Amino acid sequence: MAATKAPPLKIVEPTYSVSEAAIRLNLRKEGEVNRNGGASKKGEKWLRDGVNLLGWPHYRLAGELRFSESDLAEIQELNRNKPETRGRRRQSNRRPAAHRAKTAA
């Protein structure tokens, strides 16, 4: 009888809460406070909206939103600025000066 292979060992990645993930992605600094003196929530809404509206990778453990290292790396890659679209000139709605001169005459 042939020997059966054991299934590959799965490694559990550490996970981070929304607040910790915002710090890991450098959306805010650890210990940062808001104007009222309370703990800052900067970046947390952006992460929650990305999960709920855009389907970003995440885990829900015990009803809590959690992110692994690979999830954070994928979110960072999804939001990377594309060099060909950055710094593009805006389209103007104004008509050329020659056209305005003809209509004014």
And the tokens for 62? 């015990």
Tokens (6 digits) for 31: 């210990």
Task: Identify the pLDDT of residue 57.
Answer: 94
Range of the domain at 58: 15-30+40-78
- pLDDT band with cut points at 50, 70 and 90 for residue 103: low
> pLDDT tens digits for 20-68?
999 999 999 888 888 888 888 889 999 999 999 999 999 999 999 999 9
Say yes or no to pLDDT of 85 above 90.
no
CB contact at 8 A, 15 and 68: yes
pLDDT of residue 1: 62
User: Does the residue 63 lie in any domain?
Assistant: yes
Residue 57 lies in a domain: yes
Query: How many domains, in total, are found in the chain?
Result: 1
Give 23's contacts (C-beta < 8 A, 6+ positions apart).
29, 30
| Average pLDDT estimate for 5-34 | 88
Q: Where are the alpha helices (DSSP H) in 1-105?
A: 18-24, 44-54, 69-78, 97-104
CATH number, position 26 = 1.10.1660
Whether 46 is covered by a domain: the verdict is yes
